Amino acid sequence: MRWERLFEDLEAQLTEWELSELRAEVADRTRLEESRVRLADRLRAARGGQVSAKVRGAGPVRGEVGAVGADWVLVAEESGGEAVVPLAALTHVAGLGSRVEAPGKGSRVASRLRLGYVLRAISRDRAEVVVTLVDGGTLRGTIDRVGADHADIAERAGGSGRWTVAFAGIAVVRRSR
């Protein structure tokens, strides 16, 4: 009888050790999966939801998450306007929750669209925009040209100013009212 108890005890210890190993492996795999999640994946999962984002140089941007590209997000602001925000300009976002949209899910084309593509579309529209810079400055005009990592903004309303802005310097692009 004592041998049976000994074997039962050994079997229980082995079972506990196997469960402990399994828990550790699950935790490691979970951390690995979480390390691959990008902010854009979380924003895509939040489409249609309300967020409050803090943007370098521009302050808060609040509203509904719309389209999300590889390096930008479109927010339908509470004020009625729309803001294109480069992800690099975000300091923090409230309202995302824990949901994640896996990379490649949904529109694979949209997830590959970079900021330059969006700025070229705005340029074709010839809409007057207000570009808030990460240093807090603003430029008002039309986007004339868009390069690989910069855009030319031409002042409107009789002005003769033209600015070349690095994408890294852009905090928010809004349609002028």
**Residues 51-62: tens digit of each pLDDT:** 999 999 999 999
Residue 30's pLDDT band (cuts 50, 70, 90): low
pTM, rounded to two decimals: 0.80
- What does 58-124 look like in DSSP terms, one character per residue? TEEEEEEEEEE-SSEEEEEETTS-EEEEEGGGEEEEES--S--PPTTSS-HHHHH--HHHHHHHHHH
pLDDT the model gives residue 155 = 87
> Is the pLDDT confidence value at 105 over 60?
no
> Is the pLDDT confidence value at 106 over 60?
no
Residue 104's pLDDT band (cuts 50, 70, 90): low
Worst-scoring range by mean pLDDT, 5-9, 33-37, 40-44, 121-125?
A: 33-37
pLDDT the model gives residue 5 = 81
What is the domain partition of the chain in residue ranges? 39-175
**Residues 116-169: tens digit of each pLDDT:** 999 999 999 999 999 999 999 999 999 999 999 999 999 876 666 899 999 999
Per CATH, which fold does 39-175 belong to? SH3 type barrels. (2.30.30)
